[in-house]
Amino acid sequence: MIKNVPLVPEQASSYATQMDPLFWVLVALTVFFAGTVLTLLLFFAIRYRRGKQVDRSNAPDEHQFLEITWTIIPLLLGLGVFVWGAKLFAGAFGPPPANALEIFVVGKQWMWHIQHSNGVRENNELHVPLGRPIALTMISQDVIHDFYVPEFRIHVDVVPGRYTREWFTPIKVGRYRLFCAQYCGTDHSKMTGWVTVMDPADYARWLANGGQEVPTAPKTMAALGADLYVREGCAQCHDPGAPGHGPVLTGLYGSIVTKPSGEKVVADAAYLREQILTPADRVAPKYQQIMPSYKGQLTEEQVLQLIAYIKSLGPQNPASAEPVPISGAKPAVTKVKSARGKSADKGKSQ
Amino acid sequence: MSVEAIQPAPQELSEQYEDLAQQSEAYVVGMWAFLVTEIMFFGALFLAYIVYRTAYPEVFRDAHHHLDVVLGTINTTVLLTSSLFMALAVHAAQLGRKKAQNRWLFLVMLCALTFLVIKGIEYHNKYVEHLIPGSSFQYHSVAEGEGGQAPRMSAETGFAVPQSIPRDKAQMFFVLYFCMTGLHGIHVVIGLIVMAVLAWLTSRNSPLVRDYMPVEMAGLYWHFVDIVWIFLFPLFYLIPK
Amino acid sequence: MSVQTLEVNTEPAPEPKEERVTYLNVDHSLKSWLLTLDHKRIAILYMVSISLMFVLGGAAAAMIRLELTSPHGVMLSNETYNKMFSAHGIIMVFFFMVPSIPAVLGNFCLPLMIGCRDLAFPRLNLLSWYLFTIGAIVALAAMLSGGVDTGWTFYTPFSSVYSNSNVVTTIIGVFIAGFSSIATGLNFIVTVHKMRAPGLTWFRLPLFVWALYATSVIIVLGTPVVAITLLLVVVERTLHLGIFDPALGGDPVLFQHMFWFYSHPAVYIMILPSMGVMSEVISAFCRKRIFGYKFVAFSSIAIAVFGFLVWGHHMFVSSQSVYAGMVFSVLSFMVAVPSAIKTFNWTATVYKGRVWFTAPMIFALGFMGLFVVGGLTGLYLACLATDVHLHDTYFVIAHFHYIMVGGAIMGYMAGLHFWWPKMTGKLYPENWAKLAAGIIFIGFNLTFFPQFILGWLGNPRRYHIYPEEFQVWHVLSSAGSSILAVGYIIPLFYLLWSLKYGRNAGRNPWGAVGLEWTHVDSPPHPHNFHEVPVVTWEAYAYEPAEVEQERYDRPDVDEEGAMWTAPGSATAGEKS
């Protein structure tokens, strides 16, 4: 059992091997000073306890030389530690070496989006090759986060509105925990992931396979849409029983829906696109308007993938579908109009 | 202030003090300590101002044209004059001349009111021009305003200075303007109330103001309020082109 | 004129035994308490308020440690957990730690120690308590009506744009309490400058007074800055402006600079008074002048000054420049030195002293043990290279709890026990107090030492869910916290018990030197002194051991008064 109790993190980066000796020196200094002072304190307290007959003559209450000594020595030791630390820091926080591999990190509540230069993307995972400096250029999409890998011993805040850089050289193959280390809201402690350090050859192959260990067939649009549905947080509100209580999307595609104006339309692709991107036109009056706008956050390609996914959830044939009341409106159909090209309702928001 | 040669006003001693000298000195030290806290209070805003002016110098240069230098100058003169009146009021208080003290205090209050009215006019103008920060904020760059003007060349970079000032950065100038002049205005109002109360108590011969110290303390406070404005005025109204 | 009377006993009636007038019994009405101008009553009012806040903040801590026994949480949602640690931090920092010693022990003892009848501005003092109470009520209302989940640090843009919790109300509560703090600091500064008894020069002052003075300077300079900073967060949040919001041209890191400009000196507000108490307690229970008096006095001032220059050490990885980091780091190493000087001086005081192991002394020794560790672990964070790893991990939490709880609160307990007889006229039961001190010391170490290891392993702060391999240390820590809680609950009982059933303390049960012991009754008269003392002796003017040893051989408390004489006291005997 003792073996399983972690005590020391692994050294997975070159910085770790440089920093750890300094850490242990600090530990040694801590033990030495705390030990000395506290031992002396206890020793004096016990030796000179009230009632004990012991020589207390000429008890001093000042001693300039002693004061200066125990001021200068800690100061010098402190400055020594400072210089050592500052040098390491300047190296680690200065510009990365010229041969550094550039990788880009976007932090957002509550996940990490990582992009490799060749276009491979990962979420909450970072694959890097062994032995080469890795330079992360990072930015946040919302609040301040922090990209922390304890086994690399390094972290830097990920700030909205500006790029920050973090670089390190992995020296050991393995999988290491990634944490967000700047409190960022509700799921801060779930904004974690893994950094995988691979042999350079394995990494090259991984990269060439589009971020996969082995080449695989490209995913269908609906499958990509399903990924987006989870990744972009749609599931949090639209899954049945989800705490966000949004309307369930099963059977939505191709059904008749009622707009707030009373007008009935078919929920086709254009309608769905409108619903995803434009908050002002949200239907479903029974639901609170808390769905965020995805305008600017999804590419058109991604919107199409999402629509393909929603389509895969329900009936395909628009005209023959029974109207699915979302708002509790009467099922009787008075007018059926396609949402295509409709702009009259844009001004009416809930 | 040395008042030994002049007949001092009769004073009241609080229980915790040994003698009047200790009491007076305590009030003075207390008021200065309070003014130090006020300096730090405003100082934080001045820091924010420095940060954003350094970051967006062209925005500040452009945006300050929207402020009325004439009204600002009048206000500065009004406040400076009011400080003179205040000093005279304190002097009268030290001599025990209640009526004179109140007359001068009324003049100070008049100046304060004038200041606030002018400020109100300025704020109203900003409202009309849609320059109150918030959702109704609209910004039209002064440089842009004169259409067809040749672009200004920047001395530092040699390139043309971008004509359009981003709305959000311009809004920052006005956020700082309203926060700082607003906070200052609140202090003017507080000073006004304090002076009104002092004048009223004096007219009723209240034992609370048998002492000249309250007026002297109010005087210190008022001079501080004046000095803050002396800094605010050039920082907002007189940004060099 | 003579009157024909019956044969009656014309002896005068025996004098009724006069109960001495004290600040406690002079008037029992509620109004006399709520409208009091007496600094001693205000101190008691504060003691009640902050004790309540401590219980609430401690309850939040208990919930946190309970949750963390499991890596997946036990019963709270992520959001509720976040609100719990925010509540714990906000209540403990702003509504317990900052006021505690100054508003309770400082308010009570400062006038007594410098020989005056009250603080310079008694009405301001009462206003300070009301502001504190109103601020606390507002903040608690915010906590209870949904809570706030920004952490006590309110980092932007999360607090100003993204959080869906009661940020504005909480900030208003903290803002009001800030003015309470400023009022106290201002009062103390003027009092120390202008109200000292005749003959009491600066270098004859007790070191507690130096500490309170330095603290007050920090309060007066730093608090207004955080007040404005938090106000700007409210403005940004309610009006959707862009002061700290990068989407609108603002700078989120500017908030951090402005916030930490106060909040770093704030930690010195929290520890300096405790260090002052240490000087008093160690001196009294070693019966010796503090070693290196001037060095200790000046170190308090040095901490206050340097404390304002190091705020950036909270921001080494915030995207602050490397050079700024270096400046803040070297200054942070320098600010550690005055604290080290104090600990060396206290240790040297014990040398050739006559150590009496009372409860205050045990608490003081506990302080030493814990503060030394806390202070030394600060160096790991001051050092740039190691901070890059340890920043925002449990290491930081352990570090500051060693100082705040292990240091400051132990000091508060030491002071509370030391001056309890003066404040109440009663002795608390010694053995229970020593037991509580021991339990607190053990519980504390078990709670927070594992957190150093957790931080070194990389467990970030403010994590509700954590990797399973860290569970062992979390469970140990939570177990320790249950012991610590017991340690804090025990004094509540025996201190209250002592009010009714404790032995009468007499004027000076410790035989200590200091105006509050030698010239003031226990409990004090409303006006403190029967006549204003004229001070002609140095601070901590204990007689040398051999002199005292000859004259007095009674080790026990004398119920009537001082067991050893002290210069200038009412019972001073012949000097040899």
pLDDT digits (tens, 9 = 90+) for B64-114: 889 999 999 999 999 999 999 999 999 999 898 889 999 999 999 999 999
Which residue in the block uniquely carries the two structure tokens 């007959």?
A53
| pLDDT tens digits along B186-231 | 999 999 999 999 999 999 888 778 788 899 999 999 999 999 999 9
Of C299, C338, C387, C314, give the one whose Cα is nearest residue A26: C387
Residue A349, Cβ neighbours under 10 Å: how many?
Answer: 12
pLDDT over threshold 60, residue C568: no
Per the structure, the count of domains in chain A is 2
Q: From the CB coordinates, do chains A and C have 3 or more pairs under 8 Å? A: yes
CA distance C446 to C481: 7
Domain boundary among A153, A183, A214: A214
Which residue in the block uniquely carries the two structure tokens 């399903």?
A226
CA distance C109 to C515: 10
Q: Per the domain annotation, does A90 fall within a domain?
A: no
**What's the average model confidence in pLDDT over C352-378?**
95
Q: Is A338 found in the same domain as A293?
A: yes
In single-letter form, the type of residue at position A321 comes to A
Of C213, C197, C172, give the one whose Cα is nearest residue C536: C197
pLDDT over threshold 60, residue C572: no
The set of chains that have 3 or more CB pairs under 8 A with C is: A, B
**What's the average model confidence in pLDDT over B106-130?**
94
On the question of a cis peptide bond just before residue C157, with omega within 30 degrees of 0, the verdict is yes
Domain boundaries of chain B, sorted by first residue: 20-237
Window 171-230 of A: residues touching C by CB (8 A cutoff) are 177, 179-190, 192
Q: Is A178 found in the same domain as A236?
A: no
Of C481, C462, C397, give the one whose Cα is nearest residue C82: C462
Highest mean pLDDT among A161-165, B24-28, C56-60: C56-60
- Whether B25 sits inside 8 A of C194 (CB atoms) is yes
Q: What is the pLDDT of residue B162?
A: 52
**Residue C61 is encoded by which pair of tokens?**
């801590």
CATH number of the domain that A258 lies in? Answer: 1.10.760.10
Of C473, C273, C275, C455, give the one whose Cα is nearest residue C381: C455
Q: Is A102 found in the same domain as A16?
A: yes
- Name the phi and psi angles at A179, rounded to 5: -125, 150
Q: What percent of chain C stands above pLDDT 70?
A: 92
Better-predicted residue by pLDDT, C458 or A53? C458
Q: Is A202 found in the same domain as A308?
A: no
Q: In degrees, to the nearest 5, what angle opens at C-alpha C70 toward C-alphas C64 and C74? A: 65
ipTM of the complex: 0.89
- Whether C249 sits inside 8 A of B43 (CB atoms) is no
| Nearest residue on chain C to A182, alpha-carbon basis | C392
Q: Are C434 and C359 in contact (CB under 8 A)?
A: yes
Of A134, A192, A136, give the one whose Cα is nearest residue A163: A136
CA distance A249 to A236: 12
pLDDT over threshold 60, residue C163: yes
Q: How far is CA C428 from CA A185, C20, C40, C422, C491, in A?
A: 46, 21, 19, 11, 9
Q: How far is CA C97 from CA C11, C139, C269, in A?
A: 60, 15, 9
Bridge partners, residue C196, by sequence: none
**Residue C133 is encoded by which pair of tokens?**
């109470």
pLDDT over threshold 90, residue B182: yes
Strand arrangement of the beta sheet that strand A264-266 belongs to: A256-258, A264-266, A337-338
B20-237 placed in CATH 3.90.1150.10: no
Q: Per the domain annotation, does A308 fall within a domain?
A: yes
Select the residue from B59, B169, B175, B208 to test the C interface by mutation, using most C Cβ atoms within 10 A: B175
| pLDDT tens digits along C242-294 | 899 988 888 999 999 999 999 999 999 999 999 999 999 999 999 999 999 99
Domain boundaries of chain C, sorted by first residue: 34-574
CA distance B11 to C172: 39
Query: What's the CATH code, domain C34-574?
Result: 1.20.210.10
Q: A280 CB contacts (<8 Å, ≥6 apart)?
A: A346, A347, A348, A349
- Name the phi and psi angles at A193, rounded to 5: -170, -155
CA distance C287 to C281: 9
Q: C498 CB contacts (<8 Å, ≥6 apart)?
A: C420, C424, C426, C427, C428, C429
- Neighbour-count burial of C553, counting CB atoms closer than 10 A to its CB (0-12 exposed, 13-18 middle, 19+ buried): exposed
> Rg for chain C (alpha carbons), in Å?
25
Bridge partners, residue C316, by sequence: none
Q: Are A254 and A267 in contact (CB under 8 A)?
A: yes
- Helices and strands (H and E) in chain C: how many: 18, 0
Q: Per the domain annotation, does A66 fall within a domain?
A: no
Q: Which domain holds residue A263?
A: 221-349
When pLDDT is cut at 50, 70 and 90, the band that residue C485 belongs to is very high
- Whether C221 sits inside 8 A of B37 (CB atoms) is yes
Q: Is A331 found in the same domain as A278?
A: yes
CATH number of the domain that A41 lies in? Answer: 2.60.40.420
pLDDT over threshold 50, residue A121: yes
How many angstroms separate the CA of residue C456 from the nearest CA in chain B? 36
Domain boundary among A157, A190, A214: A214
When pLDDT is cut at 50, 70 and 90, the band that residue C545 belongs to is confident
pLDDT over threshold 90, residue A255: no
- Write down the mean pLDDT value for chain B: 86
CA distance C306 to C301: 9
- Whether A182 sits inside 8 A of C163 (CB atoms) is no
Chain A residues near residue C453 by CB distance under 8 angstroms: 7
Q: How far is CA C228 from CA A46, C8, C161, in A?
A: 51, 78, 18
Helices C207-239, C293-307: axis angle to 10 degrees equals 10
CA distance C209 to C277: 9
- Whether A143 sits inside 8 A of C158 (CB atoms) is yes
Q: What is the pLDDT of residue C2?
A: 45
CA distance C79 to C86: 11
pLDDT over threshold 70, residue C58: yes
Q: Is A142 found in the same domain as A186?
A: yes
- Whether A34 sits inside 8 A of C373 (CB atoms) is yes
| pLDDT tens digits along C200-223 | 999 999 999 999 999 999 999 999
CA distance C27 to A18: 68
Q: What is the pLDDT of residue C550?
A: 64
Total-model pTM: 0.84
In single-letter form, the type of residue at position C352 comes to K
Whether the CB of C254 is below 8 Å from some CB of chain B: the reply is yes
Q: What is the pLDDT of residue A155?
A: 92
- Whether A48 sits inside 8 A of C352 (CB atoms) is yes
**Residue A260 is encoded by which pair of tokens?**
């707030």
Chain C residues near residue B134 by CB distance under 8 angstroms: 239-241
Domain boundary among A214, A247, A270: A214
Alpha helices in C351-409, H assignment, sequence order: 359-382, 384-390, 394-403
Enclosing H/E stretch for C441: helix C430-457
Chain A residues near residue C461 by CB distance under 8 angstroms: 181, 183
| Nearest residue on chain C to A8, alpha-carbon basis | C457
